[in-house]
Structure 1
């Protein structure tokens, strides 16, 4: 599968982060918009599978198709740039500033949200025949997801908020691992296999992904979910974004950078040389 060693793919991670920071506003927004839209379609696909088969594992196994497609087409998710962009700053690449990193994050957030919201409106139309009938079974399921993962957390107070944050951390630990796994191979098949495994894991475990939620919750509101816009932002999107940032940067970006790019000094070997053995 043309495996790339960690030392080499970490360099690719830093290069990718640098290129995203210097990308034009237009290109950043277009790529982020398409990434949000494609991932939203994959989420709708997975929920449809879950409802029609009654097997959540089936939806989780097939959901990564959206992630693989958007990555292979060079589109950007907020969860990915959370991990990659700061590495160019930490590596002191020329011209990279904290403002440049924040600019990239902001533009990708806006693009992802716009793309996911577009698909949310489209799918709400599909599920209700243009808002002329009650939502079908899939639409009702999306509405219930929105309730359970907003007011459901709120019912547990601080414990619910902590759980939401940790699920965000765990999510981007896996999603960013998928981003990096695609850099471990130079073949399409190798990239897809590398991405598929951690993305399947995060989706089946019900971890919180900020861009998937940009689709699920707005569409849930359109489909009669019993929660508010404020519930969505306070009890899901904002804590999820923070958790995604911590998970991707701390557990993937910084850990790989620290041990494969800025490695610590090696310990002196304790093995005896042939000369020492002969002297004994």
Structure 2
């Protein structure tokens, strides 16, 4: 059968986290680079569709194609390793230490950022004919997104920061659900269906994804967005990364682990025997008939 039960699923999650901890630096960075680049292309694709059709839902419906491709190719996003890698530490897998978890997160962050930045530069070149003309309509929209989702939060102060953090939490709740959902099936079609649904939710709802933002905000800076690099890191990337960590680990990784890998004690069953149950049923029959 193509369906993987939850108990088996959690074991696969822990195994996946352990394998990422011990992956070589070279492979970790390459896989993270390609994940960041593919997701950035998907974000550019979704923004282009939204601008050309005027329908954000259409862009959101098609954005998950990038996530599905990078997952099926075995590449790694920061949001995914936030959820999976700590499980190997919590499960006390041999050789897994806090330092090795942080090492993995750091390498994946660098790789994702480099891949997304590469695509951001390429898209900026396309939108401006190599910076020789003003940005086209898609380029202008990318600049507006970067400005609205940095300065827009800053205008609200602490309330804006909290909103940004919560959007980061909700984002990786959905994205990590997509990562886990892909493990519920052994078929390509089952994996794609499992991933598509939560990724659609996160993108259409405008939640904050740290890797998508690694593309959107550098693009915005290159294409005339009225915000600074400091605005980007302080009023988006850093709070988003923290929110993504909390959302993925708390609402997906730890909950799955707690209820399927370390299940609670079962409640005691009733002690009445079959004879007593049958006698009780016979006593109740006349009352039902009389009624």
Q: How high is the TM-score relative to the length of structure 2? A: 0.95
Q: Which residue of 2 aligns with 1:225?
A: 225
Q: Larger Rg: 1 or 2?
A: 2
- Regions of 4+ moved over 4 Å: none
Kindly report the root-mean-square deviation, in angstroms, between the aligned alpha carbons of the 2 structures: 1.1
Aligned to 2:23, the other structure's residue is in SS state coil
Q: Corresponding residue for 1:41?
A: 41
Per-residue CA deviation, residues 123-177 of structure 1 (Å, 9 max, x unaligned), is 0000000000000000000000000000000000000000000000000000000
Question: 1:53 matched to which residue of 2?
Answer: 53
Q: Structure 1: which 5+ runs fail to align?
A: none
Return 5+ residue gaps in structure 2 as ranges.
Answer: 281-291
Give the Cα separation in 2 of the matches to 1:5 and 1:103: 31
Q: Distance in 2 between matches of 1:86 and 1:14?
A: 8
Residue 272 (structure 1) shift:
3.2
1:235-269 Cα distance to aligned partner (Å, 9 max, x none): 00000000000000000000000000000100011
- Give the SS at the match of 2:250: helix
SS in 2 for 1:184: coil
Partner of residue 63, structure 1 = 63
Structure 2 Cα separation of the partners of residues 273 and 72 of structure 1 = 53
Number of equivalent positions: 280
In structure 1, what is the Cα distance between the partners aligned to 2:86 and 2:155?
35
Where 2:80 maps in the other structure, the secondary structure is: helix
Deviations 1:90-126 (A, max 9, x none): 0000000000000000000000000000000000000
TM-score with structure 1 setting the length:
0.98
SS in 2 for 1:52: helix
Deviation at 1:270, TM superposition (A): 2.2
Tell me the residue number matched to 1:272: 272
Report the counterpart of residue 190 of structure 2 in structure 1: 190
Matches for 1:203-214 after TM superposition, within 5 Å: 203-214=203-214
**Corresponding residue for 1:236?**
236
1:199-220 deviation line (CA, Å, top 9, x unaligned): 0000000000000000000010
Partner of 2:102: 102
